[in-house]
Chain A
Amino acid sequence: MKRFGKLEYYFAALITITFSNTILGEGFDSTAFITIFVALTVMYKGLVVIDHFMELKEANRYLRMMMRTYFFFFPSLIILSTMF
Chain B
Amino acid sequence: MSSIESSNTLAIFPRSWSQQNAGRVPGNIPIWVGILSELTEFGIFFTAYFIAKFNYPEVFASGPLSLNTTIGVSNTVILLASSFFMAKAMSNVRRDDYKKCERYLWYTFICACMYLSFKSYEFYWNDLQGFSTKTNEFFTVYYYMTFNHFLHVGWAACAILWVIFRLRSGAYSAKEHSGLEALAVYWHMIDLMWILIFPLLYVLR
Contacts and interface: CB of A to CB of B under 8 A. Distances in A.
Please report whether the interface of chain B is mostly helix, strand, loop or mixed according to DSSP.
helix
Contacts of B81: 11
Most chain A beta-carbon neighbours within 10 Å: one of B91, B195, B202: B195
B46 interface: yes
Q: Give the interface residue-count category, chain A.
A: 35 or more
Contacts of A64: 23
B204 A30 contact: yes
B61 A30 contact: yes
B203 A25 contact: yes
A29 B61 CA distance: 10
A56 B24 CA distance: 9
Interface string B153-184: 00000000000000000000000000000001
B23 A59 contact: yes
B84 interface: yes
Contacts of A39: 199
Contacts of B26: 54-56, 59-60, 63
Given A18-B73, A18-B80, A78-B204, 4 more contacts: A21-B203, A25-B202, A38-B199, A55-B90
